[in-house]
Amino acid sequence: MKSIPVLLLGCGGVGRQLSDHIVACRSLHSKQGIALRVVGICDSRSLLAVNDIVNLELKDDLLKEICKIKSSGSSLSSLMDLGQCQIFKDSEARKKVIDIASLLGRSTAGLVLADCSASSETVELLKQGIDLGCCIVLANKKPLTSKIEEFDKLTSDFRHIRFESTVGVCRLFICTCTLI
């Protein structure tokens, strides 16, 4: 079984749909020899991450709770019982995303940064993720519509980036994970 760590950037409509899809398709992934291990999830203001990103993952019941909280319009920081997880806010959250990418990006399992945000503000994180060996999945076209230098950086290694309209993000995500 290949365990692939995933960090979700964005938990709006698309991010929640991807999270739900990951949970709903555990048995299918298992048959394919893949275990998607969500180690963190971000909204625009915060990051919820497991304390031990090498060995732990966000449990399915917590992922469902996150989807419920986010669909009500609340922030990740409103979660109460975090168990073996921690909340990071604002610039601390961005730094923690890079720390996770640094630790897991070039590891045997790698790290998938799945950008499900509707923002171009993730471009810097994604560029740093590329430098750190992460695989990038874009459900959002905005990072590719910025400066040509940023586009060139993000698309410099097609083995490590996949992008398509949000309609195909779940299929694309699974295809990307099989490449790692």
The pTM for the full model equals 0.84
CA dist., res. 67 & res. 61, Å (int): 10
| All structural domains of the chain | 2-179 (3.40.50.720)
* 109 within 8 A of 2, measured Cβ to Cβ: yes
pLDDT tens digits for range 86-111? 999 989 999 999 999 999 988 877 89
* 19 within 8 A of 38, measured Cβ to Cβ: yes
**Other residues' Cβ atoms within 10 Å of the Cβ of residue 169:** 24
Closest by Cα among 178, 169, 177 to 141: 169
pLDDT tens digits for range 113-168? 999 988 888 888 988 998 898 988 888 777 777 788 877 777 776 566 666 654 44
CA count, 13 A, side-chain hemisphere, 115? 28
